[in-house]
Amino acid sequence: MSKDSQWIAGINAVASAIEHDAANVREILIEAGAKNPRVLEIETQARRLGIEPRRVAQQALDGVAGGLRHQGVIARYAAAKTYDENDLKGIVENADGRVLILVLDEVQDPHNLGACLRSAAAAGAHAVVIPRDKAASITATVRKTSAGAADRLPVVRVTNLARCLKSLQQQGVWIYGLAGETETSLYSIDLRGNVALVLGAEAEGLRRLTREHCDQLVRIPMPGAMESLNVSVAAGISLFEAVRQRVS
């Protein structure tokens, strides 16, 4: 397979690719004898868009899927569009003073990244920022877990996260880092303007240099006996607190 494409697997991932970015769907394989109505709907919709799916044996589909749970359908999809810091500058400028950005500091689990992207897209975030190194990238697993969000939302990969945060600050974006040890509650701050929410990997949290480039550290109040939340859960809570403030 070409380096500029990858296989995505599963009903949601393939259906989303067809719906939102059919021009980048290179090929669709469907399990011979598949009767799932949603798979048949994908087959019909693909043909309407000029993509002719191929029916193949289950064993062949399993082999191509490479262990991914495919639900009877996979697609060869163009590699995700790449965004960099120059694109991020334009995203901020076009948001009219209300940009909402999710920044993930070395989140390495593709399922967590996919879930974070899904929450970010649902919350109407303008972009998600991830480091180029020591972090999950947009893979087939991420695409599937994100339920299509990876193809709808700009994912900006940056070489130097601290430098990126500084650049955002220079554009008038307020940087809030999520950290459990601070006393300031997420619910006590104003998230209605230009905001970037920064979350670290579940095991390590925010790196020291990342913390130092935040304008303020805040925490999600947890009256229960747990010390931390899964990063994707924390991202969802933080993003939708911003949504609550912006729509109220």
Question: What is the domain count for the chain?
Answer: 2
Cα→Cα distances 129→69, 119, 136, 183, 236, Å = 27, 14, 12, 26, 15
pLDDT in tens, 162-211: 999 999 999 999 999 999 889 999 999 999 999 999 999 877 789 999 99
Which structural domain range is residue 48 located in? 5-78
pLDDT in tens, 129-159: 999 988 888 876 787 788 778 878 999 999 9
Lookup: tokens for 232: 């994707």
- Distance from C-alpha of 219 to C-alpha of 178, rounded to nearest angstrom: 5
pLDDT in tens, 48-97: 999 999 999 999 998 988 887 899 999 988 766 778 888 999 999 999 99
Looking at the whole model, is its pTM more than 0.95?
A: no
Q: Are residues 71 and 118 in the same domain?
A: no
- The more confident residue out of 176 and 5 is 176
User: How many angstroms separate the first and last alpha carbons of the chain?
Assistant: 49
50 is in an annotated binding site: no
Query: Which residues lie below 8 Å from residue 64, measured CB to CB, with a gap of 6+?
Result: 7, 29, 74
Give the 3-state secondary structure of residue 56. Answer: strand
Among residues 20, 43, 78, the one where a domain terminates is: 78
220 is in an annotated binding site: yes
Which strand (E) or helix (H) includes residue 181? none
CA 190 to chain centre: 24
Among residues 78, 95, 123, the one where a domain terminates is: 78
104 is in an annotated binding site: no
Q: Which of 172, 97, 100, 152 is nearest to 129 (CA)?
A: 100
Among residues 28, 57, 78, the one where a domain terminates is: 78
